[in-house]
Amino acid sequence: MVLKHLRPLQVHFSPASEQAVGVRGGLWVLSSSSLSTSRLPLKVDWLILEVSREASLPSEVVRSKPPICEAEVEGSQSGVIMESGRVKGTVTSLASLFPAQDARKAASRVQDAISEKQRELEQLRGFITDNDNLIKLVQKLPEELHHEVMVPFGKAAFFPGRLIHTNEFLVLLGEGYYAERTSKQTAEILKRRGKALDSQVDSLKAMMDNLKAEASFFDATASEAEDGLVEIKEEYVEENFCEQESTSGVNKQDVPSVSGVDKAKIAEIDAEYARMMARFDELEKEEELAAANGNKSDDEDEEEKGTQNQSLERFYGDKQSLSKGSTSTWPRDENVSSKELLNKYQKQQEASTNPSNCSGLSVQTSPKEDVTSGNNSLTESQRVINPNPAAKSVTFAEVKEKNQTLPPSTNQAFTGSIIERPPIIPKTSKQETETTLQPSGSQPSKPVSRFKMQRR
């Protein structure tokens, strides 16, 4: 029952408030006088886990969230908890779910069952004492050769007589089979029967304990219902998960938008994205510098790639801290995006949009080559974007080969591809390119031509 969750939370969060306090993360804490008197000792692990996760978030993240909302619950039989106009959960009084009368009735029924079991238990106890007496009797009989007794004759009559052959007993084994046993053997059989009876008594006692617990539970429920305890239910929506989804969605959108370069989308991108862009610009500058240093060998290029990777990682680290609470989910997203990219490579989509598509380049861009060669500004801008064209082209070829031969799961291939994403660059780095170089109508088709240049 959801109700049971409330107590541990109350301990953790709001020890003395008189209201229901909604806590972000799908949790609601209710502390009212009735709750504090409730004696439910149950703990729910996932709730506590959720709480701890909440608590361990960076303070910045917590602050950025909407203020904790409060819902008035007292006095209302049932209601709805709202947060910023959104339905967060429902408040139902326990009495409406489990009427006190019904609970009492159930409790009395369980009590009846208990008394019945009690009777059974007494009966069993009687059997046990009978059995013990019989064992004693059987052990005692062989002490004498014969005993003077009244031999029953039917149910209503006796003959005066005696017991003879006192060490011979006929014992019923069950199903109408009898065995002739001595006194000792009979006593052993009877002892075994006694053990069976004991185990029956034990099981009966266990059942009675269960029933008693049930009865006490029903009683507690009834008294709680009378006290006006309230049950608060909220759909458990893992917000972190949602955020992760949304961010990953953004990421996915980014990747294609990189190729598409949708201005409207760029406009929507928030400060976080701007920061990301700034980071990219820095990287661009670095690359530019590197390019200015002259030609580099393939090995050097590899090294540079490594540094780029690091910087990228740093960037992602920043982003992690920025992102709300969804810390652990980032690497997965990267993987996803990388896979997407690689898949794209394999599909060899339009080279014009994605410069890293090496295979399509040669064919598609051949006509554009003239254009690029003819237009200096274009080439220069290209250079800005891709600092050392020659080296890059080589690496790209490598990447492409890898993609074609190997499954697109390797980390390196992924990082390389991400770095090469061209569309990000034109978005924000445009100003830079414009300022430093001649303004060129940098269009999505540019990267292709640039690639061509590199090839040359």
Partner 1 sequence: MDVVTDNFRHEKVQRFEEFVDRRLKPDLVHAIAERDKVFEQQKVFSDLRRNIENLEKNSITNVRTLVNLGSEVYVQGDVPDTRSIFVDIGLGFHVEFTWSEALKFISLKEERLTRQIEEYTQLIASIKAQIKLVCEGIRELLQLPAERTVEERVF
Name which position in 104, 193, 233, 285 contacts partner 1 (CB under 8 A): 193
Q: How far is the CB of 110 from partner 1 (least distance, A)?
A: 24
- Candidates 215, 220, 210; CA nearest to 4 is 220
- In whole angstroms, give the CA distance from residue 353 to residue 426: 12
Instruction: State which of residues 162, 184, 314, 456 lies at the interface with partner 1 (CB under 8 A).
Output: 162
The closest alpha carbon to 411, from 331, 327, 311, belongs to 331
By C-beta, is 82 or 163 nearer to partner 1? Answer: 163
For residues 153 and 241, which CB has a smaller minimum distance to partner 1 in the complex? 153
What burial class does residue 145 get, using C-beta atoms within 10 Å of its C-beta: 0-12 exposed, 13-18 middle, 19+ buried? exposed
| Interface segment toward partner 1; rule CB under 8 A; list 58-66, 81-89, 147-155, 362-370 | 147-155
Q: Select the residue interacting with partner 1 from 150, 206, 292, 322 (CB under 8 A).
A: 150
List the alpha helices (DSSP H) in 228-297.
239-260, 263-268, 271-292
Nearer to partner 1, 29 or 138 (CB): 138
Task: Give me the 27-56 binding string for partner 1, x by CB under 8 A, dash otherwise.
Answer: ------------------------------
Count of chain residues binding partner 1 (CB under 8 A) = 35
- The answer to the question of residue 175 lying near partner 1 (CB under 8 A) is no
Does 152 sit near partner 1 (CB under 8 A)?
A: yes
Helical (H) or strand (E) element with 7: helix 3-12
H helix or E strand, kind and range, residue 82: strand 78-83
Residue corresponding to tokens 């006593």: 187
- Alpha carbons 145 and 165: distance in angstroms, whole number: 7
**Interface positions, 67-86, toward partner 1 (CB under 8 A):** none
**Least separation, in Å, of the C-beta of 161 and partner 1?**
4
> How far apart, in whole angstroms, are the C-alpha atoms of residue 400 and residue 416?
10
Position 158 contacts partner 1 (CB under 8 A): yes
E strand or H helix at 317, and its extent? Answer: helix 298-322
Task: Return the H-helix or E-strand segment holding 381.
Answer: helix 376-385
Tell me whether residue 187 or residue 225 sits nearer to partner 1 (CB atom).
Answer: 187
- Of 47, 71, 141, 378, the one binding partner 1 (CB under 8 A) is 141
Q: Choose the binding region for partner 1 from 145-153, 246-254, 385-393, 401-409 (rule: CB under 8 A).
A: 145-153
Regarding 271 and contact with partner 1 (CB under 8 A), the answer is no
Question: Which residue is it, tokens 């994205």?
Answer: 273
**C-alpha closest to that of 23 among 58, 1, 52:** 52
Per CB under 8 A, the list member of 28, 98, 169, 345 interacting with partner 1 is: 169
| Residue 370, CA distances (Å) to 76, 237, 358, 383, 391 in order | 78, 56, 18, 17, 22
Q: Which of 1, 2, 23, 171 binds partner 1 (CB under 8 A)?
A: 171
Q: In the complex with partner 1, which residue's Cβ is closer, 49 or 151?
A: 151
Rank residues 153 and 236 by Cβ distance to partner 1 and give the closer one: 153
Does the footprint of partner 1 cover residue 236 (CB under 8 A)?
no
- Packed helices 366-374 and 446-455: angle between N→C axes, nearest 10 degrees: 90
- Is residue 195 at the binding interface for partner 1, with CB under 8 A as the rule? no
CA 391 to CA 386: how far, in whole Å?
10
> Does the protein bind partner 1 through residue 184 (CB under 8 A)?
no
Selected binder of partner 1 within 92, 93, 139, 166 (CB under 8 A): 166
Distance, CA of 336 to chain centre: 20
Q: Binders of partner 1 among 338-377, rule CB under 8 A?
A: none
Q: Which of 23, 62, 134, 261 contacts partner 1 by CB under 8 A?
A: 134
445 vs 450: CA distance, rounded Å = 9
Nearer to partner 1, 156 or 264 (CB): 156
CB count in 10 Å sphere of residue 123: 11
Cβ at position 183, least distance to partner 1 in Å: 10
Query: Does an H or E element contain 92, and which?
Result: strand 86-93
Per CB under 8 A, residues contacting partner 1 are 130-131, 133-134, 137-138, 141, 146, 149-166, 168-172, 178, 186, 190, 193
